[in-house]
Structure 1
């Protein structure tokens, strides 16, 4: 494995990642010709030094969060906007702020506030990606955080059966259409948003549009709006998909990445060394030490020898302590209401909780990225 890895949320809906920020980073690496790197499916933001995914490992550098990674790549010779003028860069930044706010909200609304989509597809998709025990409480955390965020658009959010939100009273579809309209004007008859070659804005827009167009979910309203009212944007997204994802490396698991790094004897993975530490290696080595065989150990010369009775007794007690710790964790989680075991009618299938999740949501429902406002400038002309 190379010394370059991009850690992302795993694949779903025929795309290499379920997360728009991860998709945008994959697209950006393709645009800038970032070569000889591996994609690692992680699915656990807690393992990132910054608590965020995507996370980039480049040599001894570990960078967490899409915007930090973009800044790092730009400074290290992988700048997708180097051909743009200052005026074009300013427009690109304004458009990125627009899509980061409005198209992110559209996906959150579609996936989590729409009960039919959540129950019929999204909850299971995330549960299949997440490790134990996260799969039992993270999806409901995400749902609660998402609903808290999109309530500002109005409309009644239903939580049972196939009775969806009252779409006649919610503003989110108008907000999404306005954003599509701005992008459609910007695109015009060009192949990409700033001409014949893609830029950072194309990478970001693709990350959001792809997750509105391609997922086969029960209620594809945003995808249908794109296909019927903005077909040029839909064709543009297809073009980006073919361009950006054709040469994506085959993903590996975090466990495989750890094992390969350990076999290579990596020297840049010291625990507690700040941004140069490898949290996957540290966790992997800790688990290895906790559950290694109690039968043998290796001496200074590398030969195997039998453990003493005291060492075997200590290993048994350590395993028992770990087991008791796991039981205590489960009791704590259930006792504090982080997980509620119930029927399909209880909290959308028996899940409940609050805390950190994925897709830009962290504890308390706050977005992982800063809130931004829709730019007030006049964006380029009228729609077709």
Structure 2
């Protein structure tokens, strides 16, 4: 059976706008033969019960996340599709350490670049998401992705790159200067000028975060062809996924790209060469109307498969899912977070898949139950308002006869 790799769609001339999705595509290109897999730009995490991309579908089995997908291919192919099979114990330890390093340092830097920075988000990232998302996902998914990116990168203390934060600072300044004579006030600044000022003010932190991520990679690469030796490994795939997204997009605030050009030329050239050689170039977003994926002039053909068009019922289901997920209590129970990893040999994976099926069925019940409940409450409310529904009233308790002091004396009620 042909494996299906579901990813976020193309953007910035790359096969995907997500680093782990790019890493998964790179891994598949290097480890699987042609015809053994297909690439589906679903751009919808709910396509799998795990609610995460990249997601691998092998028959009835779903695996999500780059690390879990690599582990699954290793276990199910007896090592034939394992790029780490030639690593010694020391290199395997380095692979684990560098994978953790890439996600802990590279992802926050990528979040700052594409999502937290208002200039970059509204000029580049938001339009790229609009090209790959269908309605109604295009309404709420970009906002959700940006909020997640802000939370992942908030420890860096660079939230002022966001225009909303700049507006709050601006309002505070206006309140403080309200009582200062106009002749002594500084010229009023626009939000754009505030953002530019915040970028300059935070440039030291931005450069430090960039160096904190790129310096170890440059040192590790050295004069080697790959990070861990003479052959490609999963760490190389993940590294190229992050580096490609950090240096390829044309952004208004391109501090990372400037760092590549000034200090990390060798690392930049290595990532660019591998990206164009393995992933190809000039990938275009899949238009919901034209259903065109990729570009005929790509140097490396990827096994693109057009995702099926969603029915009106699926669109309605997506809207209701979004509403349910936003609810404080029900939303947490609705998210498939009970199974975060689907890895492990044999029986353990089958057990987790069985649990996953049960959770998916429970989630599918929530929407009809919620719709039925809301419809019933609405109908009862309308009927009651129109006076067509008379609710029964409790009968008043009959009061006993009171004979005063005589009744009390005789015990009569």
TM-score by length of 2: 0.61
> What is residue 283 of structure 2 aligned with on the other side?
none
- Do structure 1's residue 12 and structure 2's residue 15 form an aligned pair? no
1:329 to partner: Cα distance: 5.4
Aligned counterpart, 1:375: none
Tell me the residue number matched to 1:21: 20
Gap change, CA 1:21 and 1:158, over 3 Å in 2: closer
SS in 1 for 2:63: strand
Q: Which moved more, 1:146-155 or 1:167-176?
A: 167-176
- The separation in 1 between residues aligned to 2:200 and 2:53, in whole angstroms, is 32
The equivalent residue for 1:159 is 163
Runs in 1 of length 4+ with deviation above 6 angstroms?
A: none
Residue 178 of structure 2 corresponds to residue 125 of structure 1: no
Give distance in 2, aligned partners of 1:55 and 1:5.
8
Instruction: Name structure 1 gaps, 5 residues minimum.
Output: 257-283, 292-321, 339-354, 357-361, 370-384
| Counterpart Cα distance in 1 of 2:220 and 2:264 | 13
Deviations 1:304-338 (A, max 9, x none): xxxxxxxxxxxxxxxxxx98x99x959x95xx899
Q: What's the offset of the Cα at 1:144? A: 2.2
The answer to whether the 8 A contact 2:206-2:255 is kept is no
Aligned residue runs from structure 1 range 227-246, under 5 A: 227-246=261-280
Partners in 1 of 2:50 and 2:69 — Cα distance? 12
What's the secondary structure of 1:249's corresponding residue? coil
User: What are the ranges of 5 or more consecutive residues in structure 2 without an aligned counterpart?
Assistant: 165-190, 281-299, 342-413
**Structural mapping, 1:338-349, within 5 Å:** none
CA distance in 2 between counterparts of 1:128 and 1:239 reads: 26
Which deviates further from its counterpart, 181-190 or 147-156?
147-156
Q: Deviation digits for residues 172-199 of structure 1, max 9, x if unmatched?
A: 4312212211111110011111233211
Q: How does 1:67-216 map to 2 (within 5 A)?
A: 67-75=67-75, 76=77, 77-155=80-158, 156-159=160-163, 161-162=191-192, 163-164=195-196, 165-169=198-202, 171-216=205-250
- Aligned-partner SS, 1:6: strand
Larger displacement relative to structure 2 (10-19 or 245-254): 245-254
Corresponding residue for 1:51? 51
User: Could you list the per-position Cα deviations for residues 156-182 of structure 1 after superposition, in whole angstroms to 9, with x for gaps in the alignment?
Assistant: 234164324445446343122122111
Counterpart in the other structure of 1:254: 307
**1:129 CA displacement:** 1.2
**1:107/1:211 contact within 8 Å kept:** yes
CA offsets, 1:70-107, max 9 Å, x none?
Answer: 10011223110111101011011111111111111111
- Tell me which structure has the larger Cα radius of gyration: 2
Q: Is the 8 A contact 1:49 1:64 kept in 2?
A: no
* DSSP-derived class of the 1:96 partner: helix
Question: In structure 2, how many angstroms separate the alpha carbons of the residues matched to 1:96 and 1:108?
Answer: 17
8 A Cα contact 1:10 1:17, kept in partner: yes
Mapped contact 2:279–2:302 kept (Cα < 8 A): no
Question: Per-residue displacement from partner, 1:217-261 (whole Å, max 9, x unpaired)?
Answer: 2121112212211111001101211332144424222207xxxxx
Distance in structure 2 (CA, Å) of the matches to 1:167 and 1:337: 39
Alignment check: 8 A CA contact 1:192 1:236 kept = no
Mapped partners of 1:3, 1:232: distance in 2: 37
The Cα of 1:109 is off from its aligned counterpart by 0.6
Counterpart CA distance in 2 for 1:27 and 1:85 is 22
1-structure distance, mates of 2:257, 2:141: 26
Greater percentage in helix: 2
Moved more, 22-31 or 170-179: 170-179
- Map of 1:217 onto structure 2: 251
Match of 2:29 in 1: 30
Length, aligned pairs only: 279
